Structure 1
Amino acid sequence: MKVCMVGSSGGHLTHLYMLKPFWQNKERFWVTFDKEDAKSLLKDEKMYPCYYPTNRSLKALFINTKLAWGILRKEKPDIIISSGAAVAVPFFYLGKFLGAKTIYIEVFDRIDKPTITGKMVYPITDKFIVEWEEMKKVYPKAVNLGSIF
């Protein structure tokens, strides 16, 4: 099983890294911002840099969609996992098109309101995970697995 871990650097990347018990024994690669925190945390990991800043940027969406197409066709992941933010969107949609399963984890600091990325990927995500029971009112198909932190 090959896993693609995709997300912004900072808290989103930390969130994904905390899933280490799941991904540590699997073939994997990461897609994140080419920033010092990501380079340090992922120094021994296969990492593809993506374009940023991404928030509400059509330019970033276009560039990251092109990157996603090339990376996903080359790597052929079985599963794509993300906790956001915007860079996840093209990877989820193109990944689904190419046959990958998707898992989205809504961020811990959202207790009763959705993120923009969460709203965008919710319709096509195979497993949507929330960390607060209140979020199941926002995302009825979600599974509450509690806090990752």
Structure 2
Amino acid sequence: MKICLVGSSGGHLTHLHMLKRFWGNKDRFWVTFPKEDAEYLLDGERTYSCYFPTNRNIRNLIKNTFLAFKIIKNERPDLIISSGAAVAVPFFYVGKLFGAKTVYIEVFDRIDKPTLTGKLVYPITDLFIVQWEEMKKIYPKAKNLGSIF
């Protein structure tokens, strides 16, 4: 199984990195911002840099969509996992076109309001995970796995 882990640097990337027990022994690659924290955390990992800022930035959404086509076409991941933010959107939609399964983890600090990224990927995500039971009112198909911290 090949996994694509895609997310903004900072908290989103840290969130994904905390899942190492799951992805640690699998073929994987990362898509994130080329920032110092990401370079440090992902030292030795196969990474691709995406364009930022991404939140509400149409220009970089378009650039990241083309990037997603290129990376997904070449890498052919079986599974794409993200906890946000906006860079996940093009990778999830393009990944679905290439037959990848998707898992989205809504961030821990959202207890009763959805993120924009969550709202955008929810309709196509194979497994949508929330960390608070209250979020199932917003995302009825979601699975509450509790905190991953």
Shorter chain as normaliser: what TM range? over 0.9
Distance in 1 separating the partners of 2:55 and 2:94: 19
Partner residue of 1:71? 71
Partner residue of 1:100? 100
- How many equivalent pairs are there? 149
Distance in 2 separating the partners of 1:24 and 1:81: 14
User: C-alpha displacement at 1:4, in angstroms?
Assistant: 0.1
One-letter identity of the residue aligned with 1:12: H
Say what the alpha-carbon RMSD is for the aligned residues.
Answer: 0.3
Q: Percent identity between the aligned chains?
A: 74
Distance in 2 separating the partners of 1:120 and 1:137: 17
TM-score by length of 1: 1.00
Distance in 2 separating the partners of 1:60 and 1:88: 12
Distance in 1 separating the partners of 2:49 and 2:30: 8
1:1-149 matches, within 5 Å, as 1-149=1-149
Name stretches of at least 5 consecutive residues in structure 2 with no aligned partner.
none
TM-score by length of 2: 1.00
Name stretches of at least 5 consecutive residues in structure 1 with no aligned partner.
none
User: C-alpha displacement at 1:112, in angstroms?
Assistant: 0.4
One-letter identity of the residue aligned with 2:34: D
SS in 2 for 1:69: helix
One-letter identity of the residue aligned with 1:94: V
